[in-house]
Structures are given as C-alpha cells and as structure tokens.
Copies of this chain bind each other. A is one copy, B any other.
Amino acid sequence: MSDYDLYYWPIPFRGQLIRWVMAYAGATWAEHDAQEVIALYKDDPDSQPLPFMAPPLLHDAKADVWMSQLTAVLSYLGDTHGLMPISPADRAATVKLICDANDVLNDITRGGGEKLWTQAAWDDTGLPRLTRWMAIFEQGAEAQTSVLGRDALGLADLVNAALWHTMTTRMHMLRPVLDTHAPMIAAHADRIAALPALAEFDRQELARLGDVYCGGQIETSLRHVLNMPERTSDGPI
C-alpha cells in the first residue's frame, strides 16, 4: 500500500507542487488516472469521499484523511512531515507563497484555460503579469522575513522550486525571463531541484509524462505565443 493516493491529471502543473513535497519526504503514492479523477469530481458531493470542487485531491492512506485544495494539501503535508515553520508569521508567509504560486498557475493558464492565449493577450497582460509575479517572488526572497533558503529546508523552498523549475524546464522559453526578473529565485530553484531525490524524481517525471506542462488547448496556445514547437510527447490530455 502506498502512503498516499493522488487524484490529479497526468500533467505537472499544480500537481507537481504536491508531488515534489512527497518525493522530498520519501513518501510513496499511487497516481490515479484521468478517468478516476473525472468520476470522483463529477460525483455528487454526498458521494464524494470529501466534498470538493476540483482536483488535486489527496488521500493519506494511513491516517485516512482526504484533502483537496492545493494550499490545504500542501499545508497538511508540511505539517505532517515537519516542513512547516513554527511561528504564526512564518507559517502565514509560507501559506502566502503557496497562494501566490497557485495564482501564478492560474494566470499562466488564463484561469485554467477558460480563454486561450492570443499573441495580443500574452503581450498586453500575460507576460507583464508574469514578470510582476517574478518580481514579487524575488523581492519576497530578499526580505528579512523570507521563508526561503533558511538553514532547514522547508515547505516554501519546495513549493518555490517546484513552481519555477517545472515551468521553466517545460516552457523553457520562460527561463531567460526568470533569469532577468528573478535571478535569486532562479538560483534557489536550481539548488533545490539539484537535490538528489528531486533531480531523480524530475527525470522519472519527464519519462512518465514527456514534455507536457499544463496540457490541453491552453498549452498549445501558450507554446504558440512563446514561439515554442508543439509538444513532442503524446500528452495524456
């Protein structure tokens, strides 16, 4: 039996933040396929194991705890694996970074693909907003109150690295943008991603999922505005 069951699409995107924390903690988990995910999230709330709107959904098999919402799932893993800071201010700073990461992912897919990218939309709002997010992360990392890069690696380090490393390796045309607008964040993500457990995990994920990032038509439109080739892997969705 695995430690966890993860119900998420077979793409990196939001799920990768959760997977990195589990991989770093040395936990095992079963990936449930898209059909199982769809069946669960289309079910009536009174039949769902935990009433929830959208994946990711995580089941802690040993404790029999179900959790949804990216921020709640990550907080739970952080608390149970000793990765969450102690003081209320540091805890909240960690939660803020997770919420910011979630918003970045929302923004780069125009609200989960509700609209597709056009070159005009990317130039006018997509890229300016993404670079502002990068500056927010960079200045946050420079602040005395930063929860990144402390002596003991914490949840914020894993989330920060999973967000930016995954984005700028799959959507690699964004790597120079990150280097320009958030060099400290880029270096931090590189450092965490080079930890043996995470480097090995990322290799496995590239083998499992190919070069897919957020999937679907929204990824096709994102690649188009970034002047990137079509996906080479047979993306699962």
Report A's interface with B, CB cutoff 8 A. 44-46, 48, 50-53, 63, 65, 67-73, 75-76, 79-80, 88-89, 91-93, 95-96, 99-100, 103, 111, 114, 132-133, 135-140, 142-143, 145
Q: Is B100 touching A48 in the complex (CB atoms < 8 A)?
A: no
Q: Is B71 touching A99 in the complex (CB atoms < 8 A)?
A: yes
Which residues on B sit within 8 Å (CB–CB) of A79? 88, 91-92
Q: Is A53 touching B92 in the complex (CB atoms < 8 A)?
A: no
Known: A53-B133, A88-B80. A46 touches B139 (CB 8 A): yes
Which residues on B sit within 8 Å (CB–CB) of A70? 99
Q: Is A45 touching B136 in the complex (CB atoms < 8 A)?
A: yes
Q: Which residue of B lies closest to A79 (CB)?
A: B88
Most B CB within 10 A of own CB, among A76, A92, A99, A114: A92
Q: Which residue of B lies closest to A95 (CB)?
A: B72
Q: Kindly provide the distance from the CB of A140 to the nearest chain B CB, expressed in whole angstroms.
A: 5
From B48, B63, B114, A139 is in contact (CB under 8 Å) with B48
| CA–CA, A137 and B48, complex, Å | 12
Q: Is B111 touching A92 in the complex (CB atoms < 8 A)?
A: no
Which residues on B sit within 8 Å (CB–CB) of A93? 67, 72
From B45, B52, B71, B143, A138 is in contact (CB under 8 Å) with B45
Known: A46-B139, A72-B99, A138-B45. A65 touches B53 (CB 8 A): no
Q: Kindly provide the distance from the CB of A225 to the nearest chain B CB, expressed in whole angstroms.
A: 19
Q: Is A69 touching B95 in the complex (CB atoms < 8 A)?
A: yes
Q: Is A136 touching B80 in the complex (CB atoms < 8 A)?
A: no
| CA–CA, A138 and B80, complex, Å | 27
Q: Kindly provide the distance from the CB of A71 to the nearest chain B CB, expressed in whole angstroms.
A: 5
Query: A45-B135, A69-B95 given. 15 additional CB < 8 A pairs?
Result: A45-B132, A51-B137, A51-B139, A51-B140, A52-B136, A65-B89, A65-B145, A67-B96, A69-B96, A69-B99, A71-B95, A72-B95, A72-B96, A73-B92, A79-B92
